[in-house]
Structure 1
Amino acid sequence: MTNLTDPMFHDEDKARAHLEAIRWPHGPNCPHCGNIDPDKIAKVEGKKQTHRKGLYYCNECGGQFTVTVGSVMERSKVPLSKWVFAFHLFAASKKGMSAHQLHRMLGVTYKTAWFMAHRIREAMKEDVKSSGPLGGEGKTVEADETYIGKRETPRVSAQRKGRPFTKKGKSGGAQKRIVVGLVERGGKARMFHLNDATKDTVRDVLVRNADRKSTLYTDESRLYTETGKEYAAHGTVKHSAKEYVRYEGEKVVHSNTIENVFSVFKRGMIGVYQHCGEAHLHRYLAEFDFRYNRRTALKVSDRERAEDAIRGASGKRLTYNQTGEAGHA
């Protein structure tokens, strides 16, 4: 449980010390040249205090830096105590923290809160390449797709000569945003926003993110029929016949774990965020993945989750142009 009276949420010096302890556990390192030699890094101090607090000087490259340089917090004028508080709010809120709520709790403008929220989501984004695929020999991976919100770029049907795709006169899920999710039982989850859910696009997500030595469990969707043959085993449950779990000796065939991941995600998107631009959906997916992968069931506390997010802020920058489109710097 987060102690909201903790000095790091209210005192700038305490917040700075907290950030430095997380980002620089072995002492300051220069983000400009990578120098970590403590004898070549000096803290800029003086009686007049005309410089920024927490400023360091690198004798190797001559650069100056603070703890926010080289992170999503760089060049931000928001007090560090509010940044630390925002990271904790995002880490502790199971279904998310809206920019409006952040704006009210931090006492910053809505525009600032929205920008902070997206920067924190960028910090929460995990590098799937370095963490490797889910599952493995003797392990189980569940896969499923879900549909949420209305597409901003309507899907067209070639058979209907470019007109929007419909089924029985209704667009149904064809005009909704597509999210494909994978979860390793007892392990981590990953969700991806796809423009189209086809056998090829879903296979690409599966083979890149789930070890083919795993046992794969899905529903009866034909999206997984052929790809499932590439895995050690592929079991399905028939939801259309109201089958949600099946026992085959010691094996328990179901896709309820990934359904639970989607459940928390949808409750957050509908109940907390309410509206999400399609261009930003991948950031919200990263946010929910981050919290699920550090859930309480894995004995991860709110504080540890927030500290992990702050570590993830290193080496990332996120900027937006006047149209609100995301870019990296």
Structure 2
Amino acid sequence: MAQAAACPSLQGIAELRPVSAPRHRSGTSFRQVEQCLGSEEAIVAHLFRCREKELSLCPTCARPVKLVPTKRIGTYSGTCCQAFHRIVTMDTLFERSTWPLTSWIMAMVYFANSRSGISRAFLQTMFGLTGGSAHIICKRIRQHMALLEDERQVGGPSEPVGLSFQRIKGARGSRIQSRSVLVMAIHDASHVVPVVVADRRPSTIHPIVRAKVRPGSILVYRDRIEHARLNQFRSNWGLARSFAIEPASRYSGIDNAILVFWMHFRRVMAAGHGHFARGNLWLYLGEFAFRFNRRSEPDQIFWDMVSHFPPVVGRGA
């Protein structure tokens, strides 16, 4: 079995793939995955390599400690101020699951290779699960993809970045079944970062822009209202001082990516998710953006999914 080398970044983990494995433009094959992550031991070893730095910190003094494996697979122990144990699956999408890790990896391959997402009924049929178990697995994988994509930033020095707003209908509220949800999309020429927002106030928008847009980017506007919104609270938030603000007419093609993004997202949601809970919209947006931003390299989607494992369990909508 090929040795798995962890690389916790959104740029992918090409080292994890077998050297002889061909690159498929349509996705990742099970044969490629089995050569690297074909057993419980291999998956546990990869999880440990990805999370060794955070797992090896002493719970008392936060100093790094050398961990050694115990007799129980997936469990490691260390001694510093006191003896402690670590489970590699804690705080990840695999936590407190009796489902085999190999089955989790297979389900993640299905999610990576699908263009429109995987439904609960599909996993229920393919793996012989109950409806409740299939729902939890789908939600955790979707949440894992959304949290990975949440780390993305767009733009760069002298690169134009656009802001657009869309209202997504179909969310189930407490009383109104078709209440809409406001989504702000931050995008450059090729990548889109969607964020669910409560309103369009500068106090809501500006902190998100500062967190998602790289320094030196150029914020583009389309009308006087957007220009005023970007310049509002200039002294308090410093958005206009941190980024140049110019009209969108100077940058042709800046809206191509966002137009394609919303066109396909609405088609996918209409086909497979006619109604959704308001608090779960960010999961579907994150899952779709994860695939969309890697549309030129579909064979890399799965490897990016297993390159990093942010805390999933306990993260609400």
Q: Could you tell me the TM-score, scaled by structure 2's length?
A: 0.70
Taking a change above 3 Å as real, the CA distance of residues 189 and 23 of structure 1, as seen in their structure-2 partners, is farther
Q: Which residue of 1 aligns with 2:15?
A: none
Q: Say if 2:278 is the partner of 1:278.
A: yes
Q: Say if 2:70 is the partner of 1:43.
A: yes
Taking a change above 3 Å as real, the CA distance of residues 71 and 154 of structure 1, as seen in their structure-2 partners, is closer
| 1:73 CA drift (Å) | 1.0
| 1:77 CA drift (Å) | 1.0
Contact 1:23/1:67, CA 8 A, preserved across alignment: yes
Give the letter for the 2:159 counterpart: K
Taking a change above 3 Å as real, the CA distance of residues 177 and 292 of structure 1, as seen in their structure-2 partners, is same
Taking a change above 3 Å as real, the CA distance of residues 272 and 127 of structure 1, as seen in their structure-2 partners, is closer
| 1:318 CA drift (Å) | 3.1
| 1:177 CA drift (Å) | 1.6
Q: Which residue of 2 aligns with 1:147?
A: 167
Contact 1:213/1:232, CA 8 A, preserved across alignment: yes
Q: Say if 2:189 is the partner of 1:193.
A: no
Distance in 2 between the 1:282 and 1:3 partners?
28
Taking a change above 3 Å as real, the CA distance of residues 277 and 119 of structure 1, as seen in their structure-2 partners, is same
Q: Secondary structure at the match of 1:261?
A: helix
Distance in 1 between the 2:266 and 2:130 partners?
27
Q: Secondary structure at the match of 2:252?
A: strand
**Could you say which structure has the greater relative contact order, defined with CA pairs below 8 angstroms and 6 or more residues apart?**
2
Specify every segment of 5 or more residues in structure 1 that has no aligned partner in the other structure, as ranges: 45-51, 156-163, 165-172, 237-245, 320-325
| 1:227 CA drift (Å) | 3.5
Q: Which residue of 2 aligns with 1:135?
A: 155
Distance in 1 between the 2:109 and 2:265 partners?
19
Contact 2:74/2:89, CA 8 A, preserved across alignment: no
Distance in 1 between the 2:145 and 2:44 partners?
16
Q: Say if 2:247 is the partner of 1:235.
A: yes
Q: Secondary structure at the match of 1:285?
A: helix
Specify every segment of 5 or more residues in structure 2 that has no aligned partner in the other structure, as ranges: 1-26, 232-239
| 1:101 CA drift (Å) | 1.7
- Aligned with residue 227 of structure 2, among 204, 220, 225: 225
Taking a change above 3 Å as real, the CA distance of residues 203 and 7 of structure 1, as seen in their structure-2 partners, is closer
- Aligned with residue 92 of structure 2, among 64, 71, 77: 71
| 1:204 CA drift (Å) | 4.9
Contact 1:20/1:28, CA 8 A, preserved across alignment: no
Give the letter for the 2:122 counterpart: Q
Q: Secondary structure at the match of 1:148?
A: strand
1:69-108 equivalences in 2 (<5 Å): 69-108=90-129
Query: Over the residues paired in the alignment, what is the CA RMSD in angstroms?
Result: 3.8
Q: Which residue of 2 aligns with 1:252?
A: 252
| 1:225 CA drift (Å) | 2.6
Contact 1:126/1:290, CA 8 A, preserved across alignment: no
Q: Say if 2:183 is the partner of 1:179.
A: yes
Distance in 2 between the 1:291 and 1:70 partners?
24
| 1:255 CA drift (Å) | 1.5
Taking a change above 3 Å as real, the CA distance of residues 153 and 107 of structure 1, as seen in their structure-2 partners, is closer
Which of structures 1 and 2 has the bigger CA Rg? 1
| 1:190 CA drift (Å) | 1.1
Q: Deviations over 1:280-302 (max 9, x none)?
A: 11122222222233x142x462x
| 1:202 CA drift (Å) | 4.1
Contact 2:182/2:198, CA 8 A, preserved across alignment: yes
| 1:203 CA drift (Å) | 4.7
Distance in 1 between the 2:225 and 2:116 partners?
29
Seq. identity, %? 21
Q: Secondary structure at the match of 1:192?
A: strand
Q: Which residue of 2 aligns with 1:2?
A: 28
| 1:312 CA drift (Å) | 3.5
| 1:36 CA drift (Å) | 6.4
Q: Secondary structure at the match of 2:156?
A: coil
Taking a change above 3 Å as real, the CA distance of residues 195 and 279 of structure 1, as seen in their structure-2 partners, is same
| 1:41 CA drift (Å) | 0.8
How many pairs does the alignment contain?
276
Distance in 1 between the 2:215 and 2:55 partners?
41
Taking a change above 3 Å as real, the CA distance of residues 109 and 218 of structure 1, as seen in their structure-2 partners, is farther
Distance in 2 between the 1:198 and 1:260 partners?
26
| 1:17 CA drift (Å) | 0.7
Taking a change above 3 Å as real, the CA distance of residues 176 and 119 of structure 1, as seen in their structure-2 partners, is same
1:23-34 equivalences in 2 (<5 Å): 23-24=48-49, 30=55, 33=58
Taking a change above 3 Å as real, the CA distance of residues 108 and 146 of structure 1, as seen in their structure-2 partners, is same
Q: Which residue of 2 aligns with 1:290?
A: 290
Taking a change above 3 Å as real, the CA distance of residues 7 and 136 of structure 1, as seen in their structure-2 partners, is closer
Distance in 2 between the 1:205 and 1:41 partners?
41
Q: Could you tell me the TM-score, scaled by structure 1's length?
A: 0.68
